[in-house]
A and B are shown apart, each in its own frame.
Chain A
Amino acid sequence: MSTSSTLAVEYEFQPARTPRSAEVNANFAAIIELINTTGLGTNNFKLATFTSAKLTAGCAVDSKFQDLGITKAKQEALNIIYGSDQASYDSGTSASLADITGSSVTITTTGRPVVYGLLPINGSSQSEMTGVDTSNNFVRFCRDATVLGQAANYTGPISSLRIVDHPAAGTYTYNMKVTTTFTALVLTNFRPFAYEIF
């Protein structure tokens, strides 16, 4: 809503004519009316009058915001990255660590925690993880060269493979590696994701 307010003095004084007291009083009354009652309006300020310099640093304290006033629509879009859909991955059996093809995503963060993991692909195709839980079979979560954690490689929902990381702000590539000494890990219809917790 835009408002405007106009100061209109009632009398304009002419040369060589003594102003009447009532006229002078009326003009002052007009000023008083505007200041005290009507109030200044949008038009009384130049555009962009209220610069950041007019605001004291730190003045927008919590109490200045309406409770529950910052809706999702007001928030920056979620920083979420999805990798491409993967139809299948079969590790075969190997005692050495191998990258899980299609599990990597790269995300640039601001320093907030990051959730990284796998999801089923969107749609009605069946997603599945089959493996076997032994001390020699595991899935390793990595952020670049940093090992974040290690999960049992077992048969269960794809989405049980996820982890919360706490990196400093930066750009990181997450991926998963697997060791399958005795039994292959098979992933079907999955996609990797990473997002910063808002």
Chain B
Amino acid sequence: MPTSSTLTIPNTFVARTPAESAEMNANFAAVATLINTTGLGSNNIKDGTVTADLLEAGTIAGSVIPDAGITRGKLAALGQQSASVASFSTTSGSATDVTGLSVSLTTTGRAVFVGLQASSGSSESVITGTANTNILFVRGSTTFANFATPTVSSPGGYATHDAPAAGTYTYKVQVQSDGADTIAFTRVTLIAYEL
């Protein structure tokens, strides 16, 4: 709640009436009281006055922030993006987008976590493949991770970090087979967020 402080002087001088010294002193005393005792209020300082130059370097030190004082509510949202696929399979011998597993993420230049996980719900999430199938993580058109797949695996095992410059990127998941073996996703979620 902003505070306000108002300077009020007690005496207004009248023409052709000699000013009494006591009246003059009282007026100056009112100014002194405001400055020295009452204190200035928020209304006495123009908005935007306290610039960085007026703050001593390091003023906002750890000592003025209570321990655990900055709650998560003050942190900008993580901005995590996720997308899910209920079921997908292919035997394609070329890199093929997994339908639905694509997210767009705007970053500030920090490392980005990209990974798979089980989709929400109580039904089983699983990835099945063979020694001839792969999972690819792709940013835009750049493949930045390539995982060989075992016969059966949990989606949560597939994760990596990407390190792009600040920008907005599309992350997606592709799979590739030898043209004969099947790789299948069941209830898999792609998640991406800045670390």
Which A residues form the contact surface with B (CB < 8 A)? 1-3, 5, 19-22, 24-25, 28, 31-32, 35-36, 38-42, 44-45, 47-52, 54-62, 65-73, 75, 77-78, 80, 119-120, 122-128, 154-160, 162, 188-189, 193, 195, 198
Complex formed: what's the CA distance from A50 to B76 in Å? 27
Partner of A65, one of B58, B70, B154: B70
Are A72 and B108 within 8 A (Cβ)?
yes
Given known pairs A25-B13, A55-B64, A122-B145, the reply for A49 and B7 (CB within 8 Å) is no
Check if B48 is an interface residue, CB within 8 A of chain A: yes
Check if B27 is an interface residue, CB within 8 A of chain A: yes
Which B residues form the contact surface with A (CB < 8 A)? 5-9, 12-17, 19, 24, 27, 31, 34, 40, 43-51, 53-61, 63-66, 69-71, 73-77, 108, 110-111, 115, 134-136, 143-151, 153-154, 156-163, 194-195
Chain B at the A interface: SS class:
loop
The A/B interface has a contact count, at CB < 8 Å, of 211
Are A198 and B148 within 8 A (Cβ)?
no
Partner of B7, one of A1, A35, A71: A35
Are A156 and B145 within 8 A (Cβ)?
no
Are B53 and A40 within 8 A (Cβ)?
no
Min CB–CB distance B3 → chain A (angstroms): 13
Q: Which residue of B lies closest to A122 (CB)?
A: B144
Residues on the A chain within 8 Å of B12, using CB: 25
Are B43 and A36 within 8 A (Cβ)?
yes
Complex formed: what's the CA distance from A78 to B193 in Å? 13
